[in-house]
């Protein structure tokens, strides 16, 4: 069997069987994850989000109107706390978020509000939300039309597959031209969630995505950025947020180990207080919530000391930064920041299918 055939077989096996593999962070001591302050903080955050949901079901994006992407992020925050349509207290929020996203799905498969900038970002988060929702939808389902949801999700997945560029990545617009790792992670996660929900995803799409992400990784020693990920395959520098996205991209594509993942995790560890760094934990980092959202997922999926050396400090910072009204704040808007923070804090709940390895 030649090396390419072996690699193809490994991707097929990991992509199709990963949900049956080891649970992420299963070895984390309960004391590491449990904290009496977290549940009240999450409750305040969800109450804030419920209060800013717009009449049509969407969530504001910090200045440009309602966003399908931020609506997807906010919806995921409610799903991560176990809220489902027709069955729980905030089920109506999830129903309304789903309605907004479905109403903004076009015949091409693209899910984007009229105000969307760089619509593939929003498309990725919205598709992820729909896939996570359909994976948990049961009876009763409130006002959610499962047949319509599944049809929209299938078209959204097809759009992602069809707009992958020759390198294997995706970019802001639904055209197979250039690519960057920031948009690529959103599409990989959406595809993985859709696959988990029973939709067909071509293995070749995943193989090409893996090749693209690996091509964005920096060579060289750790103290010179080695192991981190560039924004694109072209020359550039590694940075903490995009490197977290790079590691998570490989994991969600079925690559849970190997040199690229281990070097990426080592790069991320250098940004944590326990790794001797400050990084996103001290504030001042661009894309702070984005970085933690993907960093948390990367180390949660890796488990062991990767998770236990990260989560307590990240939780402390998140809890310290929560505002009196229950929100978190960023230049991208309070709904975005609050949704991201809540997803990090709720990762130990293990309720979202996407967070299970």
Average pLDDT score over residue span 48-53? 98
pLDDT at residue 47 tops 90: yes
Residue 278 — pLDDT band, cuts 50, 70, 90?
low
190-216 pLDDT, tens digit each = 999 999 999 999 999 999 999 999 999
pLDDT at residue 108 tops 50: yes
145-160 pLDDT, tens digit each = 999 999 999 999 999 9
Give CA–CA dist 324/289, Å, rounded: 18
Worst-scoring range by mean pLDDT, 11-25, 72-86, 126-140, 157-171? Answer: 11-25
Choice between 158 and 222, residue whose per-residue pLDDT is larger = 158
Cα 212 to chain centroid, rounded: 18
- Domains in the chain (CATH in brackets) are 35-344 (1.50.10.20)
Look up the pTM and report it. Answer: 0.92
Identify whether the C-beta of residue 259 lies closer than 8 Å to the C-beta of residue 267: no
**For position 357, what pLDDT does the model report?**
63
169-181 pLDDT, tens digit each = 999 999 999 999 9
**For position 61, what pLDDT does the model report?**
85
C-alpha torsion sign, points 316, 321, 325, 326:
negative
Mean pLDDT of the chain: 89
**For position 116, what pLDDT does the model report?**
62
Output phi, psi for 15, to 5 deg.
Answer: -70, -35
């Amino acid at each position: 069997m030649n090396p390419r055939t072996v690699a193809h077989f490994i991707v097929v096996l990991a992509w199709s069987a990963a949900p049956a593999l080891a649970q992420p962070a299963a070895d984390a001591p309960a004391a590491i994850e449990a904290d009496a302050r977290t549940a009240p903080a999450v409750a305040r955050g969800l109450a804030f989000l419920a209060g800013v949901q717009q009449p049509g079901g969407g969530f504001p994006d910090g200045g440009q109107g309602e966003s399908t992407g931020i609506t997807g992020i906010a919806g995921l925050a409610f799903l991560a706390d176990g809220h489902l349509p027709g069955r729980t207290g905030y089920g109506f929020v999830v129903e309304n978020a789903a309605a907004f996203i479905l109403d903004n799905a076009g015949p091409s498969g693209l899910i984007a509000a009229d105000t969307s900038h760089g619509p593939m970002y929003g498309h990725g988060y919205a598709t992820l939300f729909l896939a996570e929702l359909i994976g948990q939808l049961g009876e009763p389902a409130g006002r959610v039309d499962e047949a319509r949801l599944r049809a929209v999700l299938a078209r959204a997945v097809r759009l992602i597959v069809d707009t992958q560029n020759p390198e294997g990545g995706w970019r802001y617009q639904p055209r197979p031209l250039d690519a960057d790792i920031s948009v690529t992670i959103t599409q990989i996660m959406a595809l993985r969630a859709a696959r988990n929900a029973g939709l067909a995803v071509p293995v070749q799409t995943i193989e090409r995505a893996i090749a693209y992400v690996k091509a964005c990784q920096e060579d060289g020693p750790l103290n010179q950025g080695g192991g981190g990920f560039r924004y694109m395959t072209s020359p550039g520098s590694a940075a903490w947020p995009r490197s977290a996205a790079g590691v998570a991209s490989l994991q969600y594509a079925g690559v849970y180990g190997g040199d690229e993942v281990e070097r990426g995790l080592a790069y991320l560890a250098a940004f944590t207080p326990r790794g001797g760094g400050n990084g996103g934990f001290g504030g001042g980092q661009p894309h702070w919530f984005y970085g933690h959202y993907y960093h948390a997922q990367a180390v949660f999926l890796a488990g062991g000391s990767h998770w236990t050396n990260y989560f307590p400090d990240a939780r402390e910072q998140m809890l310290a930064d929560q505002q009196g009204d229950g929100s978190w704040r960023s230049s991208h808007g309070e709904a975005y920041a609050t949704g991201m923070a809540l997803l990090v804090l709720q990762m130990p709940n293990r309720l979202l299918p996407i967070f299970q390895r």
